[in-house]
Each structure stands twice: as structure tokens, then as C-alpha cells.
């Protein structure tokens, strides 16, 4: 039985429609700083590739990071000559700052960026954004460290890249393989909620975004890329590495302190296939087994300590009964709360009474084992008694779990919810609804005596024909979960 502290704030993923002719599905951002020579060849090559291979409308946005050469003039000329190109200038440097500004203002449902040197082969672009368009993933990254990636670069850059990713794995428990590859994409609905949580405005922007997304449970898709190092790169390796390490420390400290509201990035009920009712597949069995084993291990230690203490003042049978009784009450309470997720005081007495019945079964097994030991040896050693009791408890553990799952704490979702009056294959209809039931995303949702309003509209800027950026509003569309039983409640 899965429980949540707050409802999801992101709509369920769905396959993106092709959209109107004037609304691009993909917006590729190219951050640049003093790239007057490479900008035009990059844009022309990218535009030609997208024209030939990308089946949706697209846009290429040049994000100028306060260039001091003729890069702004080149960007303006490309915007005037090519319909799919837009230019955007910032008066401050910083790749993260540029991506945040353009992505926040874009109306495209899929947002991507790549470096102007086009070190990454463009054949990976469609595989990069396809999982976002299909609704399979939330973010996508190109990986130079994947086994099937083909990379040409010097030993120094290779060492730095792999060392940095090892640092991320060791300090922030990151599971993605390549944080620094300048070839990434994100769904706009995710970016609208995720970007305000990202503080960095420079090169660490990518890493921070990926770490927060991964910690929030979002799905990150990795694409092996073909990548050739640019020997003329203007990146300052030492300064970048220093800033990245400072960022790792800052993000790690924030995650450890719990100051980041990552629950804002959760998906609504029913989007996770683990929330679905699937015939012949027990719900939550693996998690319950882990929780039961942890509680059982601690309970066994508690029981052995109690038994050893009681054994000083009384015989083995009485010490066993007292230790088992006290540990059984604690075990039932811990499994009720931690393993099976039962909250509140309702049914506590009944659960403890049923737990005592299970305790009686364990008492019979352990007492019988002690009786057999005493019959075999008139004066068994204390260590032998403990070994026999451990074996008996292990035998009783399996039966205890089955009784807890099937009898004491069964899955009561169907009985706790209101009955379904009538429903058809096309449009389910309910007589009443509980707070757990699926509903449209525009609807206010009540959870734990709190009312959560629908996701607000986000003011953004749109690029007008006269070259200015005007305020506009993007309305999020209600997206119902797919392929779920309407009766399947989290």
C-alpha cells in the first residue's frame, strides 16, 4: 500500500501531438559567447539536418551570452533570413542563465540545447527527443561514457570527465553517466517546475538540474553519442572544475538538509505502473518483504535481549513467553506502520489482537523447540538455547509474514473506497469519489484535509515579429493517466 505526503504537481506524461503549423514541437537552444565564426555554419547544418530528419515543426534559438564580437549581428542576420531561427541576447554571461531564460520563455513542449561546435553527431538528436515526445521520459541526455558511445578526445579531458562523474556518484549518488555533455533535452512542463529550483547560472547548471530531477524520481533517458573533441574550445577547465565542486557541495548540503521541495516534481496518482492493479502480480510485495525483514531483524535482536534478561530471573519457558509477548507487540506496531503503511489509530486494537494470535503460533513453535531441546539434553548450554530459538524464529517468520499480509493487514483499497456505481469501457462513471480517486488535473484536489489548487498558469515571454519579447501565458492542458483502471487508487 503506497502512500504519499502530497499530490503530484506535474501532469501525467502523454505522447505529444504534432501541434499547429505555427507552434514548434522542438526548440533547440544554442548558447554562444563570441562565436562569430562558428555560429552560422552550426545553425545552417542543424537546420538542414532537422529539415531532413525531424517529422515535427521545430525552432532554433540562438542564446547570446553577452558576446563582445560580431556574434549578435550574425545571430540577427540568421533570424532574418531563416524562418525557423530566433535570437535572444542576454547582457550577462552564463550558459545556465541563457538556458533558463530561453527555456522559460519558449512555448515548445520539448526543449533541447547543444554546443555551437556540434561536437556531438546530430544523428543522436532524434533519439534524444523521441522519448520526450512519446511520453516515456522527462529528460534526456547524451552520454559520452556509455559503452556504445564512440568518442575522440585527449586523455586529459577523458580523465577529467570520468573523475567528475565519479565524484557525482560518490557524493550525490548520481546514477546518470555523463553530466557535462552539451547535448540535453527536457519536457517543458517539467522545466517549468524544475528550473526555479536550479540555482546555478554557469556550467554546473546541467548537473544540478539532473541531480534534482533524479532525486525527485523523474525519468532520465540516456543516448550514446558519437562525439569528437573540439581542440579550440574556450572552456577554462580549472575554473569550471572549481565551480562544479562548489556546486556539488552546495547541492549535497541542500539535499541533506531537506530544503529542496522536490515533492513539487512528482507525477499524479496512476501515472506510475506500480500503482496499477495487475492480475496475479502482488502489489508492493518486494517493498513489504524488505520492510518486514528489517523489522523482523530488529525484533529478533530485541527478543534475544529480552530473553537473556528474563532468563536471569526465571526459567527458559517463562522467559521465552515474556520476551516473545513484548517483542510481538512492538513487531506488530512496527510492521503496521512501516511495512504495510497503515496510518492512524483506527483498528489498532484489532490489529494487535490478530498479532497476538500470530504471536501464539510463534510461541508454539519456539516453545516446542525448547521442549524438544530439553528432552534431548537435561542441561543444555545457553548458547545452544539461543541457536535453537533463532532457528525456530526463522521458521515462524515466513508464516508470520503471510498471515500479516493476508489476514492482519490486507490491501483494503477496494473496501475502503466508495463502491463504483456504473462504468463503461469508454467513460467511467462514479456515484461518489474519495480523495484518492483519479480526476482531471484542472480540478482542486483534497488531500489530508488540505485543498490543492490546479496548477497555475505560468507567465512567459513570446518572441514577436518586431523583435521584442512580450508576456504571454501558457495554459497547461489536463492530461489524464493512461492505461489505468479507474478503480486503481494509490
What's the pLDDT score for residue 16?
A: 79
Q: State yes or no: pLDDT of 17 exceeds 60.
A: yes
Grid cell digits, residue 132: 520526450
Q: State yes or no: pLDDT of 20 exceeds 70.
A: no
In whole angstroms, what is the distance from residue 177 CA to residue 180 CA?
Answer: 9
The Cα-based distances of 79 to 83, 248, 356 in angstroms read: 7, 37, 76
**Weakest mean pLDDT among 33-47, 139-153, 255-269:** 255-269
Q: State yes or no: pLDDT of 450 exceeds 50.
A: no
Q: State yes or no: pLDDT of 314 exceeds 80.
A: yes
- Mean pLDDT over 404-425 rounds to 56
Q: State yes or no: pLDDT of 235 exceeds 70.
A: no
Q: 189: which strand partners?
A: none
When the pLDDT of each residue in the chain is averaged and rounded to a whole number, the result is 77
Helix (H) or strand (E) holding 223: strand 220-224
Reported as a pLDDT band with limits 50, 70 and 90, residue 125 is: very high
With CA atoms as reference, report the closest residue to 299 among 401, 373, 380: 401
According to DSSP, residue 107 is labeled -
What's the pLDDT score for residue 233?
A: 62
Which residue would you say has higher pLDDT here, 247 or 446?
Answer: 247
What's the pLDDT score for residue 112?
A: 96
The Cα-based distances of 234 to 179, 389, 401, 413 in angstroms read: 19, 69, 61, 59
Reported as a pLDDT band with limits 50, 70 and 90, residue 357 is: confident
What's the pLDDT score for residue 274?
A: 58
What's the pLDDT score for residue 236?
A: 63
Q: State yes or no: pLDDT of 409 exceeds 50.
A: yes
What's the pLDDT score for residue 98?
A: 92
- Per-residue pLDDT of 175-218, as tens digits, reads 888 888 889 999 999 999 999 999 988 888 989 999 999 988 88
**Weakest mean pLDDT among 24-28, 285-289, 430-434:** 430-434
Which residue would you say has higher pLDDT here, 317 or 110?
Answer: 110
In whole angstroms, what is the distance from residue 99 CA to residue 348 CA?
Answer: 53
Helix (H, G, I), strand (E, B) or coil at 66: coil
Total length of the chain: 490
What's the pLDDT score for residue 462?
A: 47
Which residue would you say has higher pLDDT here, 391 or 424?
Answer: 391
β-bridge pairing 226-228 and 150-152: parallel
Reported as a pLDDT band with limits 50, 70 and 90, residue 437 is: very low
Helix (H, G, I), strand (E, B) or coil at 183: strand
Amino acid at each position: 500500500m503506497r502512500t504519499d505526503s502530497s499530490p503530484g504537481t506535474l501532469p501525467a506524461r502523454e505522447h505529444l501531438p504534432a501541434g499547429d503549423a505555427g507552434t514548434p514541437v522542438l526548440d533547440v537552444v544554442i548558447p554562444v559567447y563570441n562565436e562569430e565564426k562558428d555560429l552560422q555554419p552550426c545553425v545552417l547544418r542543424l537546420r538542414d539536418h532537422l529539415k531532413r530528419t525531424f517529422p515535427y515543426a521545430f525552432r532554433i534559438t540562438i542564446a547570446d551570452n553577452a558576446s563582445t564580437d560580431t556574434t549578435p549581428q550574425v545571430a540577427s542576420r540568421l533570424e532574418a533570413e531563416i524562418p525557423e531561427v530566433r535570437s535572444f541576447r542576454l547582457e550577462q554571461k552564463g550558459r545556465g542563465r541563457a538556458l533558463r531564460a530561453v527555456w522559460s520563455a519558449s512555448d515548445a513542449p520539448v526543449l533541447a540545447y547543444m554546443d555551437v561546435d556540434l561536437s556531438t553527431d546530430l544523428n543522436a538528436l532524434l533519439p534524444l527527443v523521441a522519448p520526450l515526445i512519446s511520453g516515456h521520459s522527462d529528460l534526456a541526455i547524451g552520454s559520452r561514457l556509455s559503452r556504445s558511445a564512440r568518442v575522440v578526445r585527449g586523455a586529459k579531458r577523458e580523465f577529467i570527465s570520468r573523475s567528475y562523474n565519479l565524484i557525482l556518484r560518490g557524493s550525490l549518488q548520481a546514477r546518470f553517466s555523463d553530466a557535462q555533455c552539451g547535448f540535453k533535452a527536457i519536457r517543458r512542463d517539467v522545466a517549468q517546475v524544475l528550473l526555479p529550483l536550479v540555482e546555478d547560472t554557469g556550467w554546473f547548471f546541467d548537473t544540478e538540474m539532473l541531480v534534482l530531477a533524479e532525486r525527485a524520481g523523474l525519468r532520465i533517458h540516456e543516448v550514446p553519442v558519437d562525439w569528437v573533441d573540439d581542440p579550440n574550445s574556450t572552456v577554462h577547465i580549472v575554473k569550471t572544475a572549481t565551480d562544479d565542486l562548489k556546486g556539488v557541495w552546495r547541492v549535497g548540503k541542500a539535499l541533506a538538509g531537506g530544503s529542496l521541495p522536490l515533492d513539487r516534481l512528482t507525477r499524479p496518482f496512476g501515472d506510475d505502473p506500480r500503482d496499477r492493479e495487475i492480475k496475479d502480480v502482488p502489489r508492493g510485495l518486494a517493498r513489504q518483504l524488505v520492510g518486514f525483514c528489517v523489522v523482523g531483524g530488529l525484533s529478533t535482536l530485541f527478543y534475544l535481549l529480552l530473553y537473556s534478561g528474563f532468563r536471569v530471573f526465571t526459567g527458559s519457558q517463562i522467559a521465552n513467553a515474556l520476551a516473545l509477548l513484548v517483542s510481538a507487540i512492538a513487531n506488530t506496531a512496527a510492521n503496521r506502520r512501516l511495512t504495510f503503511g497503515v496510518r492512524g489509530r483506527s483498528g489498532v486494537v484489532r490489529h494487535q489482537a490478530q498479532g497476538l494470535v500470530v504471536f501464539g503460533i510463534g510461541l508454539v513453535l519456539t516453545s516446542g523447540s525448547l521442549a524438544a531441546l530439553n528432552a534431548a539434553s537435561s542441561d543444555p548450554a545457553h548458547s545452544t538455547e539461543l541457536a535453537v530459538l533463532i532457528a525456530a524464529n526463522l521458521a515462524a517468520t515466513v508464516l508470520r509474514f503471510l498471515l500479516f499480509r493476508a489476514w492482519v493487514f490486507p490491501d483494503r483499497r477496494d473496501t475502503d473506497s466508495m463502491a463504483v456505481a456504473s462504468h463503461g469501457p469508454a467513460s467511467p462513471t462514479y456515484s461518489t469519489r474519495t480523495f484518492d480517486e483519479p480526476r482531471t488535473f484542472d480540478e482542486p484536489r483534497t488531500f489530508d484535509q488540505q485543498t490543492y489548487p490546479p496548477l497555475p498558469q505560468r507567465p512567459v515571454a513570446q518572441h514577436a515579429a518586431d523583435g521584442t519579447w512580450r508576456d504571454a501565458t501558457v495554459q497547461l492542458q489536463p492530461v489524464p493517466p493512461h492505461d489505468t483502471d479507474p478503480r486503481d487508487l494509490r
